[in-house]
């Protein structure tokens, strides 16, 4: 059965609302944080912020997690050389955060780390600190990527550091 409340949240969510929480300056600061982070490891971090799901996705009861996995694939985060790409996905209409990690880093770290990191970001988001939450997530992911994938040489930037808004 279709959740009418969720449907209305998504139908009335606007990109203007998303831009209220993620200004141009905020997005630039997130991009800079990712770029600085990737100097210290060979991993790749991508931030994707989605305002709302399509009516089709809603009618098929797509969860934020399912959408994050789809976005992970669409953004080709799975295609990094060392299988160490990480997606931070925010679905604004549902106020949901998901972290999807490629198999290389996920096998080393396990579910617990990603769930704890999501919880830290969610706490910031609930307090209205959207930029701070994303930056905290980038910092946590940076630390674990530095531990398991330290950068010994300058590595190519396989994914854009710029946050994607869809």
Domains identified in the chain and CATH numbers: 4-165 (3.10.310.50)
- pLDDT over 90 (residue 157): no
Quote the CA–CA distance of 36 and 105 in Å, as a whole number: 19
- Average per-residue pLDDT in the chain? 93
pLDDT of residue 153: 63
pLDDT of residue 155: 72
pLDDT tens digits for range 53-78 = 999 999 999 999 999 999 999 999 99
**6 neighbors 129 (Cβ within 8 angstroms):** no
pLDDT of residue 154: 65
* One-letter-per-residue 3-state SS of the chain: CCCHHHHHHHHHCCHHHHHHHCCHHHHHHHHHHHHHHCCCECCEEEEEEECCCCHHHHHCCCCHHHHHHHHHHHCCHHHCCCCCEEEEEEEHHHCEEEEEECHHHHHHHCHHHHHHHHHHHHHHHHCCCHHHHHHHHHHHHHHHHHHHCECCCCCCCCCCCCCEEC
Within 10 angstroms of residue 76's Cβ, the number of other Cβ atoms is: 12
pTM for the structure as a whole: 0.94
């Amino acid at each position: 059965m279709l959740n009418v409340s969720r449907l209305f949240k998504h139908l009335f969510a606007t990109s203007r609302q998303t831009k209220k929480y993620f200004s141009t300056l905020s997005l630039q600061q997130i991009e800079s944080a990712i770029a600085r982070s990737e100097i210290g490891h060979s991993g790749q971090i991508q931030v994707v912020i989605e305002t709302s799901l399509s009516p089709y996705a809603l009618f098929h009861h797509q969860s934020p997690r399912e959408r994050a996995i789809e976005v992970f694939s669409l953004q080709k985060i799975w295609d990094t050389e060392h299988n160490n790409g990480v997606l931070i996905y925010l679905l604004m209409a549902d106020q949901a955060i998901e972290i999807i990690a490629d198999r290389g880093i996920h096998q080393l770290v396990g579910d617990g780390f990603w769930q704890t990191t999501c919880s830290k970001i969610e706490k910031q988001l609930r307090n209205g600190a959207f930029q701070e939450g994303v930056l905290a997530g980038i910092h946590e992911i940076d630390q674990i990527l530095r531990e398991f994938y330290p950068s010994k040489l300058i590595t190519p930037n396989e994914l854009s550091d710029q946050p994607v808004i869809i």
